[in-house]
Amino acid sequence: MHGNLADNDALLRALRDGLAAGARADVAVCVPAPYLAQAQALCAGGPVTWGAQDVSAHEAGPYTGEVSATMLRDFGCRWVIVGHSERRQYHGETDETVARKAQRALACGITPIVCVGETEAQRAQGDTELVVKRQLAAVIHAVGHCVTEIVVAYEPVWAIGTGRTATPEQAQAVHAVLRAQLRAAASSDRRVRILYGGSMNAGNAAALLAQPDIDGGLIGSASLKAHEFLHIIAAAP
């Protein structure tokens, strides 16, 4: 929950200008819902695509304050984040709720970025694999053969906004587990992209992105600084 019209304008213009010569990675920004129109206006036709940070699990109806996937589509959203750890923690979102949100996004032609991750206590108990597989399984069950159309983001909760990050080896180990789960569920050989979302920054991006099962990053606070975000993008192999 960051941003205002002036800061957004400066950030998006800097990203657009910085990527004018092209990038090896796909680049997207997922903005708070009030700023979707601004993102659409500034990014349309350029190298940066845009999306939302959340979507309702409902198609329409008496759900005051909710934003539907159809509404997001009206603003040209290509992406939407579902199941972010902060949504799970502060808004009580369950695995089933996240799965329904992913369904709604796919039904409207929007790619859900499905977040999974363990808390520090769960990691300490040795439950990391159990937790992330359970969270992803709910989405796989809900979307069926469309699983190849999602993006997955592994965000260890203990590394969100703390400045801590998993080592490249720790992150790769979890990504490999998720990769195997996706391959077992998919009806095709299409590679589902898995992003790392635990405090990736300009200093650690290259080492993380060099891992075989880490396809990109779900960038948090570092994405609010154009020069740092561009540095991370440039680190993509």
Confidence of residue 49 (pLDDT cuts 50, 70, 90): very high
Q: Per the annotation, does 188 bind a ligand? A: no
pTM equals 0.96
Banded model confidence at residue 160, pLDDT cuts 50, 70, 90:
confident
- Report pLDDT digits (tens) over 131-143: 999 999 999 999 9
**Per-residue model confidence (pLDDT) at position 165:** 80
pLDDT bucket at 221, cuts 50 / 70 / 90? very high
Total structural domains within the chain: 1
* Residue 189 pLDDT: 84
Average pLDDT, the chain: 96
84 is a catalytic site residue? yes
3-class secondary structure per residue, the chain: CCCCHHHHHHHHHHHHHHCCCCCCCCEEEEECHHHHHHHHHHHCCCCEEEEECCCCCCCCCCCCCCCCHHHHHHCCCCEEEECCHHHHHHHCCCHHHHHHHHHHHHHCCCEEEEEECCCHHHHHCCCHHHHHHHHHHHHHHHHHHHHHHCEEEECCHHHCCCCCCCCHHHHHHHHHHHHHHHHHHCCCCCCCCEEECCCCCCCCHHHHHCCCCCCEECCCHHHHCHHHHHHHHHCCC
Instruction: Note down the domain range covering 171.
Output: 5-234
Q: What is the pLDDT of residue 162?
A: 74
pLDDT by residue (tens digit) across 86-127? 999 999 999 999 999 999 999 999 999 999 999 999 999 999
Ligand-binding site membership of 161 (annotated): yes
Known catalytic membership, residue 175:
no
Question: Catalytic one among 86, 93, 118, 155?
Answer: 155
Structure confidence at residue 22 (pLDDT): 86
CATH code for the domain in which residue 151 is found: 3.20.20.70
